[in-house]
Homo-oligomer: A and B are copies of this chain.
Amino acid sequence: MTTTATYTVKGMTCGHCVSSVKEEVGEVPGVTGVEVDLPTGLVTVQGEGPLDGAAITAAVKEAGYEVVSA
């Protein structure tokens, strides 16, 4: 089963920020892909099986940003 979830993340300003979010979220167990649209802050996460939303939100915070809607 492939799952896709989207999150709106606040605070990303440049490609370095995008890389940080991709790296941290990509390390969450079950996550197989992360795409980020910088202008809108939209983060699209793909995974095999159910995604752990709390872990993804925590990973975004670890990168230094904030999930404002999920």
Q: Which residues of B contact A14 (CB under 8 A)?
A: 13-14, 16-17
Q: Which of A1-47 contact B (CB under 8 A)?
A: 13-14, 16-17, 20
Number of interface residues of A (CB under 8 A): 5
Bound Cα distance from A17 to B12, whole angstroms: 12
Bound Cα distance from A17 to B19, whole angstroms: 12
In the assembled complex, the CB of A31 is this many whole angstroms from the nearest CB of chain B, namely 22
Bound Cα distance from A13 to B11, whole angstroms: 10
In the assembled complex, the CB of A60 is this many whole angstroms from the nearest CB of chain B, namely 15
What are the nearest 8 A-B pairs in CB distance? A16-B16, A13-B13, A13-B14, A14-B14, A14-B17, A16-B17, A14-B16, A16-B20
